Structure 1
Amino acid sequence: MPKTIPVDTNDFRVELCDDGVAEVILGEPGVMPTTSVTGHGAIAVIWPRLAAEPGVRSILVRSEGKGFCAGGHAELVRQMLDSAQHRARVMREARLLVQSMVDCDLPIVSAISGAAVGAGAAVALLADVSVASHTAKIIDGHTKIGVAAGDHAAVIWPLLCGMAKAKYHLLTCAPLTGAEAERIGLVSLAVPEAELQHTARRIAKELAAGSPAALAHTKRSLNHWLRAAWPAFEHSLALEMIDFAGSDAREGLAAFEERRPPRFGT
């Protein structure tokens, strides 16, 4: 029976397995996982906590819900629209999420099924090895709701899939299937849905059995490419928060909730 560790949210749970793999399990069966007000902060700090947990050698992040994660809950977005204090808090949490995953010495594997949007896409794509089902749907939906793509995209999309593809998908919010994401280099592997969990767990278990120092030092060295892009990330995150104070973000949320096209700039 895996050991569980307490977390300050219902958005996910954590199980520590005997083979050295810690599983971060998003959502509940039959429900689309989202990032709540408490969950946004909790997911940002779980990575260094697991890195310090005795016996943990790798991390697997997966979902038990209807998709991987649909991003920020409407309550979280409304708080950002209404309060500079909440925007500042979310900005700190978003920065910490990216920094914690980049700085975590343990290898992180993601198993992407269904929709991965916003913060969900950030966690999925910042993993060191990302495994998507062929039918997964990856989308950075920021510009669709009237804000800059700021929570992870500027730091990693151009490195993963090139500037031309990054600009196309981040500006248009055009979705990517897992198969297409693999083709352009946005994810490490794409496999049939029936093989997703087995494949991701096999990789996480293989990494857990590897040399901790060799893996940590390789990850630390490679992630200097991301650290070199850090000014672009900081800038995009600040601009996203500025946009959440504007009228386009309010219109974007209203259009989403009313299931209609947004009327920006009016």
Structure 2
Amino acid sequence: MSDSARIPFSIIGTSLSSLKNCRSLISSGMDVATKVAFDLVESFNDDEDVNSMEKVMLEYAEMDREVDNYIRAFEEMISQIKREKPENIPDIENLLKEKLTAIESKNSDSDLQRNEKYMYFVDQLKEMKKQFRHISDNGNDTIEQIDEDIAVTRSQMNFICPITQMEMRRPVRNKVCGHIYEEEAILEIIQSRKQKKKKVRCPKMGCSHVDVKGSDLVPDEALKRVIDSQNKQSWSTLDK
């Protein structure tokens, strides 16, 4: 039996833990890149600067896939070793390479576009560009026209939470049905129903989704920034 085959599981577990920590760091990097892109849009920077952040996100997505490949290879290797008799344990280094090669052979460019944080980035960035371009285009309008546009935009964006019937401060979007709620309000309902072992129907009138979960909710940063921006604009108008 080779020396590599006698490596204790504690060492393998440490390596696996380090890989998972790398994935966590990559996730944090993607969050920072997303925030920078949103800041650029909100500050009306050139599209070239904003688009450069999308390239950064794709690079992060590629790193995330690579780390995930290693984690899966490690987990498959450990699972196989545990099933083997001691005298049949293969060379760990070669087994890991074999598992990793098999996993990487199934990789494709479309994997990167399906990265959850990248998909969120693209979706929110598109909404940010649309809404803040609208605000920028109104820069030279009269106060009356700005007020009218704000009213129209509010109607289109529906800043009102279907639960509280108040303007949202921390909007979250349901990935399943696409509806948006005030974070605290929907989480309170989910928790209350969970204690009664009951499912939560989407509070949006007419929605057929009957199993809203906390894991399905993602912050709608684009909408939050539009709400904050237009509230600032409204207060500025009143001050004048």
Q: State the TM-score, normalizing by the size of structure 1.
A: 0.26
Whose RCO is larger (CA < 8 A, sep 6+)? 1
Q: Which protein has the bigger strand share?
A: 1
Q: Rg: which structure is higher?
A: 2
Q: Larger helix proportion, structure 1 or 2?
A: 2
